[in-house]
Amino acid sequence: NAGVTQTPKFQVLKTGQSMTLQCAQDMNHNSMYWYRQDPGMGLRLIYYSASEGTTDKGEVPNGYNVSRLNKREFSLRLESAAPSQTSVYFCASRESSGNTIYFGEGSWLTVV
């Protein structure tokens, strides 16, 4: 009953460090998403992947890269972390014919 799994759950980075947030889903969904959540701003789309091998920029892609490694996994990389990237990051997935998006538990990232 795993659904969407994100790692790590918590991370503290220094400005300029890099890191990768991992996401995996076991629901055989084609579409996957990365969102960030900031106070008072709801969830904003960073990147979207419709299927293995395809990715598209969302509303706030600057400072991030993604990899859709296979159907199950969709990773988000911060190459040079900045304090403005302090946020809660959510991975989500959706089946092609479906309309409901399912979320992971979130990853809390603090950049100091």
| Binding-site ranges for other proteins (CB under 8 A) | 31, 33, 35, 40-45, 48, 50, 88, 90, 92, 99-103, 105-106, 108
Least distance from other proteins to the Cβ atom of residue 40, Å: 6
83: which DSSP letter? Answer: G
Q: Tell me how far CA of residue 69 lies from CA of 51, 72, 74, 76, 78, in angstroms.
A: 10, 8, 6, 11, 16
Q: Which is nearer to other proteins, 9 or 77 (CB)?
A: 9
Least distance from other proteins to the Cβ atom of residue 82, Å: 22
Best CA proximity match to 33, nearest among 2, 3, 72, 74: 74
Q: Which is nearer to other proteins, 79 or 105 (CB)?
A: 105
